[in-house]
Amino acid sequence: MADDEQDIILSELDDEELTLQMHDDLYDGLKDEIMEAVHILLGRGWTPYDILTKALVEGMRIVGIDFRDGILFVPEVLLAANAMKSGMGILKPLLIETGAPRLGRMVIGTVKGDIHDIGKNLVSMMMEGAGFEVTDLGINNAVESYIEAIEREEPDILGMSALLTTTMPYMKVVIDTLVEKGMRDDYIVLVGGAPLNEEFGKAIGADAYCRDAAVAVETAKELMARKHNQQGTV
């Protein structure tokens, strides 16, 4: 594949071919090619959201399948993740510069034991683009880190991400601690990540499970509106 690829001129591919090529390039961890292709699609009038979902997220989904099946290993997936992040880096300012009115504040982080951050970063970007102020705590957050951040930032929303079946139960540790401290009702708690589902979200006492970044934005807006209505501020 590498020999053929040297001859491919990305700008000469049509949209569909280019999208498929991006899936391949992400798979191969080709950061420069991903960045070039993102610029080409932007130049062709693609929205940042379409580039994210159709080219980058879809490419990472394919990587995930081969990682699961033992065809790809951690070093290769890390390269793919870096290529994905470089593409996201170009799109981030475009997703954020919407001039949307401030809707509220969010603190978000990946839970303890978990270093996956691509999905969380996507949620942060989309939330910022929708008008939320976001404090991103990064990866591997213990309950103390969440508590310290929400006491400092006083957000409306606490978001937690987990990508491993072994780390998702930690979300309950955080929520239980909020309950113990009498702080649970002060925040909207949203959770997300590939292994979660709605039932899990309910079982651990979150306000909502968000399937993807777009759902996170919609859910956040809806629950913020409900909160304002309850407080009689809207």
Pick the piece of the chain touching ligand B1M (CB under 6 A) from 36-44, 63-71, 129-137, 180-188. Answer: 63-71
CB nearer ligand B1M, residue 22 or residue 122 = 122
CB nearer ligand B1M, residue 13 or residue 66 = 66
Rounded-to-integer distance, Cα 191 and Cα 188, Å: 10
Rounded-to-integer distance, Cα 88 and Cα 69, Å: 26
Residue 54: other Cβ atoms inside 10 A: 18
Give 10's DSSP letter.
Answer: G
* Alpha-carbon radius of gyration of the chain: 19
| Interaction of residue 2 with ligand B1M, rule CB under 6 A | no
Residue 115: other Cβ atoms inside 10 A: 11
Count of residues that interact with ligand B1M, criterion CB under 6 A: 36
| Interaction of residue 62 with ligand B1M, rule CB under 6 A | no
| Interaction of residue 119 with ligand B1M, rule CB under 6 A | yes
| Interaction of residue 35 with ligand B1M, rule CB under 6 A | no
Task: Give how far Cα 5 sits from Cα of 18, 63, 113, Å.
Answer: 12, 19, 38
Distance of CA 50 to the CA centre of its chain: 15
Q: Cβ 11 to ligand B1M, closest distance in Å? A: 26
Pick the piece of the chain touching ligand B1M (CB under 6 A) from 16-24, 67-75, 92-100, 175-183. Answer: 67-75
**Given the rule CB under 6 A, which residues bind ligand B1M?**
57, 60, 63-64, 67-68, 74, 77-78, 81, 108, 113-120, 122-123, 159, 161, 163-165, 190-195, 210, 212-213, 216
